[in-house]
Structures are given as C-alpha cells and as structure tokens.
C-alpha cells in the first residue's frame, strides 16, 4: 500500500478514536513530540503501550480468577495501567481504570468482575490495537 494511503488510513483511524472518546489531547501532545529525527516515535510508544497493557490485562485476569482476590496487587496493576494510558492519551482506558480502582478500594470482587468483563474498554482496546498495529507495521 502506498505511503500516502497508509497515512490517510492512520489519520482516519486516529480521528475516529477521538470522536469515540478513546483518545484525548494527551495523544496530540505525544504526536507533537515526533519529529524528523524520530519519525517512528509515536508508533514505538503506542506499540510499547499495547504490549504492556496486554501483559497487565493478562495479570489482572489471573488475579481476578483467584478465589481470594489480592486487592493490593490488582490496585497496583490498575494504577500502572491508568498511568500509562494517561500518558498516551488513551482516555477510555484511563476512565475504566478510575472506576476499577473504586471497586478495589471497596474490596468489591463482584464489581471488579463486572467492570472488567463487561467493560467495552477492553474489547474496544483490542479492536483498535489490531487496527492500529495493522497500520503501524506497514
């Protein structure tokens, strides 16, 4: 696919993510850090974010599958995910983490499970990650 077509596809995807509330202005700040000396900066940061997020979501799933939930460990992963999502402008993930932290503070396993499994953030994150990865790796 020609470079211009890839750039257009990426722009359409990013704009749709803004319209859906998945990204906030922090992502624009991240884009502004990219220059001629580091043309792949945003792609690298987003790739690292996706890899780290996937790892954290896997660990959260394991923790929530335990009979007795270690709320401190869950909270630590959620805190880390919230921080990294905030730094890349992943607004929807950040907001889900805020809700998740509330359930951790309440030691509310049921709320955690419902929030985690029923959250559109996780499935939306995966869908957008796949779309974004498809554009970034070309």
**Going by C-beta distance under 8 Å and a sequence separation of 6 or more, which residues neighbour residue 18?**
27
For domain 3-136, give its CATH number from 1.20.1600.10, 1.20.120.160, 3.50.50.60, 3.40.640.10: 1.20.120.160
Q: How much is the pLDDT for 112?
A: 76
- Each residue of 103-129: pLDDT tens digit? 889 988 887 776 665 554 555 555 555
Report field, pTM of the whole predicted structure over 0.75 = yes
Q: How much is the pLDDT for 5?
A: 87
- Each residue of 62-109: pLDDT tens digit? 998 899 999 999 999 999 999 999 999 998 889 889 988 998 899 888
Domain boundaries, the chain: 3-136
Q: How much is the pLDDT for 111?
A: 79
Pick from 90, 69, 68, 72: nearest CA to 81: 90
């Amino acid at each position: 696919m020609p470079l211009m077509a890839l750039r257009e596809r990426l722009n359409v995807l990013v704009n749709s993510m803004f319209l859906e509330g998945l990204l906030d202005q922090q992502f624009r700040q991240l884009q502004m850090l990219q220059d001629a000396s580091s043309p792949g900066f945003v792609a690298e940061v987003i790739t690292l974010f996706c890899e780290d997020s996937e790892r954290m979501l896997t660990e959260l799933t394991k923790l929530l599958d335990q009979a007795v939930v270690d709320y401190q460990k869950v909270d630590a992963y959620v805190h880390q995910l919230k921080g990294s999502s905030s730094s890349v402008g992943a607004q929807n993930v950040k907001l889900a983490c805020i809700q998740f932290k509330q359930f951790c503070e309440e030691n509310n396993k049921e709320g955690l499970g419902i929030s985690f499994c029923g959250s559109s953030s996780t499935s939306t994150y995966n869908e957008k990650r796949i779309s974004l990865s498809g554009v970034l790796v070309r």
